[in-house]
Amino acid sequence: MSVTFPIQKHPLCGTIEVPGDKSISHRAVMLGSLAKGTTKIENFLDGEDCLHTVDAFRKLGVSIEQDGTNVIITSDGFKAFQEPKEPLYFGNSGTTARLMLGILSGLPFHTVVWGDPHLTVRPMDRVVLPLRKMGAQIDGRGHGSYLPLAIRGKTLKGIDYELPVKSAQVKSAILLAGLFAEGTTRVKERSKTRDHTENMLRAFGADINVMGNEIAITKRQELTAVDVTVPGDISSAAFFIVAATIVPHSEVTLLHVGLNETRTGIIDVLKEMGADISVTNVRTSGGEKLGDITVRHSALKAVTIEGDMIPRLIDEIPIIALLATQAEGKTVIKDAEELRVKETDRIHAVVEVLTTLGAHIEEKDDGMIIYGKTPLKGGAIKSYSDHRMAMLGAISSLITSGPVTIDDVSSINISYPTFFEHLGQISRTNYQ
Ligand code: S3P
């Protein structure tokens, strides 16, 4: 169902606690299920993607009680997992699909996995090929390149693997398979991607070593349960960070946001653009840094975003593109070809949406060029069933001269179920 966002006149002000980090919530359920004992997760992201991970482990026989953002996992460890009686459905969740392939490859039974039409066209061969090198038996559409896939668990062996793509999901799938593999599994990445899997494996007692961009993991008979408090998701905070920067007279504070350096590219880029952003109350919990972020409206200048910076803000690029329309000069985003295989082709989708709203933006194979500063107008845009595109549309409406209509915003429940409540709170508008 389409939704129309009226012209917004108020500055944004107030304090928000964004929901738990999606990447960390998935991993907490995975490792809590693999470990022997009881794992309590606080501030779990109660969004559709993470609920598919919960459901998958329930089907493997793990007891998981979930009450909103509190989760209690009671497991006898991965050796007690049972062959699922039905296929595991992962919905839209690429993280569930790729990481579960790593886990299921080393478990002694047969599993079939599938997803929604968007996940079904996303590449899985990037995970399947290295897992096959470890001895995994995976088959399915396109010689195992796309869901649905069938996995017959095997005895795995460690490999040395240099990642051809900058992907934390691929790295994580191999490391998780490495937990079950004979010997040591080594993964090398050219650009450092998010390292939540490494941090959490260490916390759960895995034998893991990180040396710069190289990670080694050695087989473990058992993981030990530990409690996890999930920090707020910087990828969700990003929408309000950008909103407060571009809406005149705004000041917004975001509490308890994860500040892992593999994820804070958006803060570095905003500072370089001249934004008024500060981070306070920095602390560490469960191996992850977190703190509070305060942002005020400010004038911006264009920048170039490329190379090793890209994995540090890959999910924030759609909303950074909106930010760039309000910066003086030419913002170049390159080396970001991975955006083409996200929930949708986010290079094409961002260019389409922002062009409809009056931006001057050019599509490139590996990114985009945005010419600012441009006033934006209203219009009818598509979300491409992509949560981050739908939120980009909603935030755009805060600065457009006319109303913005989005074809469907239901995908926002994937990562930020309380998005409209929070947006309403800081803009003094009722979005319900
Ligand atoms: C994620 C890794 C990234 C990111 C995704 C979550 C993860 O994907 O875009 O939203 O939790 O590991 P890639 O590994 O495909 O870059």
Q: Between 196-203 and 22-34, two packed helices, what is the crossing angle to 10 degrees?
A: 30
Q: Is residue 286 part of a domain?
A: yes
Given 168, 203, 229, the domain boundary residue is 229
415 CA distance to ligand 1 centroid (A)?
Answer: 13
Last residue within a domain, chosen from 166, 200, 229: 229
For residue 319, the SS3 value is helix
Q: Is the beta carbon of 339 within 6 A of some atom in ligand 1? A: no
**Pair (130, 238) in one structural domain:** no
Residue of 204, 188, 230 whose CA lies nearest to 78:
204
Other Cβ atoms less than 10 A from the Cβ of 94: the count is 20
Q: Which two tokens stand for residue 381?
A: 């845009």
Residue 167 and residue 109 in one domain: yes
Residue numbers of the domain that contains 93: 22-229
Same domain (yes/no): 235, 341: yes
pLDDT for residue 105: 98
CA distances from 373 to 4, 167, 360 (A): 25, 32, 9
- Please check whether residue 46 lies inside any domain of the structure: yes
Which among 186, 166, 191 has a CA at the least distance from the CA of 175? 186
Residue type, 291: G
Q: At a CB cut-off of 8 Å and minimum separation 6, what does 375 contact?
A: 358, 401
* Same-domain check for residues 124 and 217: yes
Radius of gyration of the chain (CA): 21
Instruction: Tell me the C-alpha to C-alpha distance, in Å, between residue 132 and each of 174, 177, 354.
Output: 10, 11, 41
Question: What are the structure tokens assigned to 109, written together?
Answer: 């039974």
Known catalytic residue at 315? yes
Same domain, 266 and 392: yes
Whether 299 and 209 map to the same domain: the answer is no
Residues 101 and 238 in one domain: no
Q: Is the beta carbon of 167 within 6 A of some atom in ligand 1? A: yes
- Give the end of a domain, one of 229, 250, 267: 229
Nearest to 214 by CA among 160, 158, 133: 160
Q: How many domains does one find in the chain?
A: 2
In a domain, 213, yes or no: yes
Task: Tell me if 411 sits within 8 A of 344, measured CB to CB.
Answer: no
- At which residue do the structure tokens 């919960």 appear? 54
Same domain, 263 and 352: yes
Ligand 1 contacts CB of residue 33 (under 6 A): no
Per DSSP, helices labelled H in 297-402 are 317-325, 346-356, 387-396
Indicate which CATH number applies to the domain containing 279: 3.65.10.10
For residues 239 and 343, state if they share a domain: yes
Whether the pTM exceeds 0.85: the reply is yes
Q: Evaluate whether 56 touches 64 at the Cβ level (below 8 Å).
A: no
**Same domain (yes/no): 346, 366:** yes
**Is residue 83 domain-resident?**
yes
* Ligand 1 probe mutation, 288, 314, 416, most atoms within 8 A of CB: 314
Residues 288, 201 share a domain: no
State whether the beta carbon of 235 lies less than 6 angstroms from ligand 1: no
3-state secondary structure of 276: strand
Kindly state whether residue 388 falls inside one of the protein's structural domains: yes
Same domain (yes/no): 256, 275: yes
Residue found under tokens 């009722």: 430
Domain assignment present for 432: no
Residue 168 lies in a domain: yes
Question: pLDDT 10s per residue in the chain (432 long)?
Answer: 899 998 987 899 999 999 999 999 999 999 999 999 999 999 999 999 999 999 999 999 999 999 999 999 999 999 999 999 999 999 999 999 999 999 999 999 999 999 999 999 999 999 999 999 999 999 999 999 999 999 999 999 999 999 999 999 999 999 999 999 999 999 999 999 999 999 999 999 999 999 999 999 999 889 999 999 999 999 999 999 999 999 999 999 999 999 999 999 999 999 999 999 999 999 999 889 999 999 999 999 999 999 999 999 999 999 999 999 999 999 999 999 999 999 999 999 999 999 999 999 999 999 999 999 999 999 999 999 999 999 999 999 999 999 999 999 999 999 999 999 999 999 988 886
Domain-embedded: residue 291? yes
